[in-house]
Structure 1
Amino acid sequence: MPEFGPQPVERELPTEEARDLLALVRELVQREIRPTAGEEEETGRFPREIFRLLSESGLLSLPYESAYGGGDQPYEVYLQVVEELAAARLTVGLGTSVHTLACHALAEFGSKEQRAEHLPAMLGGGLLGAYCLSEPSSGSDAASLRTRATRDGDDWVIEGSKAWITHGGLADFYTVLARTGAPGARGISAFLVPGDAPALTSAEPERKMGLRGSPTAQVHFDGVRVPADRRIGDEGQGFAIALSALESGRLGIAACAVGLAQAALDEALTYLAERKQFGRPLADFQGLRFMVADMATQIETGRALYLAAARRRDAGKPFSRQAAMAKLFCTDAAMRITTDAVQLLGGYGYTTDFPVERFMRDAKCLQIVEGTNQIQRMVIARDLLGPESD
């Protein structure tokens, strides 16, 4: 009988440099992240030192230009790094994706002077970013946000609250979307706000079902003043900037979902190979073999889907629909696969002695963040059929 159990993921990488990069990531994961992941998630400990290490290693800047401290890596490579990190600990994979999202506005829409002044520290200076779009009363309907920025001389003064902010209260900088004009999408602008700005505060972190090591909190702007040169892009361009960032961010979430699903499958394969019932390994039972075959097929499909979307992005082609498809499929698959992993482990899967119950709780979040999966279906349908009739 051939050896049964998890196998290393075979990566399709375009260069020798990228292959060396993935080898570095796998070594770092095994040494620094995986050994303490379960314990730290159980206690809700945020691994800030891991993010400093990722920054020092150049892993928080991969898809950005080397002229500003980036890694000059295509999204195809960056996302596979995110997948490896998420497989070890979703808090780290998701945090890397969120940091990359927070840098997107300045990197893609900032002036040359803004990028030169701020990006090197954001990308490689040990800083951690957060992205502030959602509010207590505006989630999926992001264009209805109420946080307002008012011009006062050489400053903008920001008033309002943001909700569901990953790294809220811990971030060194926030990319903030605020209203500067009339209601609707055209009245929104983007700002880069320092994490230590006076009058910026955060609430206690939310008590979440999963991802307990990743802080999620409301962030309050009670007259936060930022210089006028910290507005990113043109006044009123903020909603377009936000949508552009989310398109790329959805690919990060898809990669996280595939990594989490792969971790759940690997745990289930190990258990099935070692556990015996009725005098035979569980791996011999056809019903269970069919389950893992379906799980593996969904993982391979999801990986191919997010990589295909990434390659479109790298080639400068439109990828909004493909990103929405990848986010939708991969996160739904992760929910199914982690649930099946719990089932395969039986009673043990429902206990905290094994990580699959944590994987299942973590997976639920991925169907919600960066636009719920219902929103992804709207994005896909609009691309195929056009806008809904009034």
Structure 2
Amino acid sequence: MRRCWRLTSPRPSRTRIRRIATRSDPTSRWCWNSPDLTWCRSTGSLPDCGQRGSEATDPSRCRRRRWRSTRVTSSRGRPPWAARGPRLPPGSPASGATTLDRLRASTRVQRGCCPEEARIPQKEPIVGEFVTVLTDDHGVATIRLDRAPVNALNEQVWGEFGEAAAQCTEDADIRAVVLWGGPKVFAAGADIKYMKEVSYQEFFASGGGLQRAFEALARIPKVVIAAINGYALGGGCEWALTADFRYAADNAQLGQPEILLGIIPGAGGTQRLTRLVGVAKAKEIVYSGRFYSAEEARELGLVDCVHPADEVYDRAVETARQYAKGPYALRMAKKAIDEGIEMDLDSALRLETTLFTATFATEDARIGMQSFVDSGPGKAEFKQN
């Protein structure tokens, strides 16, 4: 599978265009050209989509779908993965490589904690510098955060989260989503070194960028499961709250410790948390600022289940694959629940009626009811998720 992106925002300077244009060697795996900055990425072989050498200057020659990104180049005008060492061909040893190097080196994740049946991706990843979308052959996408050492959230990560959410929302091949920060840390919170240098005016001008990114993740109209290893604190816990379900490793620690820094949660920690666990428990979590073990979090209702650390991601993917086979009605149900809880009861009931009626216009409704009549419940094979 090949995918092409057309990078149109932000427009680079002339200096960066000239620097990037030197990568248009027809033997290169990456074809960059100016002024359009259109590039094509192939899987395991030289591109054959009409964008090699001089042909790359004509964007109309590329027949692949283009994805828009607000930032996928580094400040030095190179693709962010260029600074992480050479690209490894499939089958190369992964020792000494970064996590993303290993992901890109093969059509499967070279990770010991993932069994054969749960490894991803089998399709070419959509890559940002810190956030990657990896889709397997079952329609399950993993939004993978990889910002060493503890996946701290800065302004660039916020933007890449927004791009990942848009991709998962718009791509019809993606039918369920897993959020994952890797086998060691889910996300230890916002980048405090960055935040302590930002003034009130700068934060105000940013207009709640992290909250907008998390809102986009929460609005993905497909089932989303967070697989939590290690710390999920502050903004990391709020990231997990954007999911429909949270699977925690037995070594996970969750909490909202912002109060210990003299601030409060600002990306869902006072609102999504309250809707999830109730007012009293949310106040305990926010007021105390303490870290909760996975079992304590399960008792509070903050996570749905606890698994061994080396199994939690696999379990999340396995469950997501089951939902990926579900009907289009899953989208309707998520919309009814998530939007209805923000309405008064009468408005929410009208929304429910509207969406319930709309499901009868889907092919899945016909398939499901006919299957029930013929074979009983649970036997239908749906098409429209």
Ranked by relative contact order (alpha carbons within 8 Å, sequence separation 6 or more), the top structure is 1
TM-score scaled by structure 1?
Answer: 0.24
Of Structure 1 and Structure 2, the greater helix share is in 1
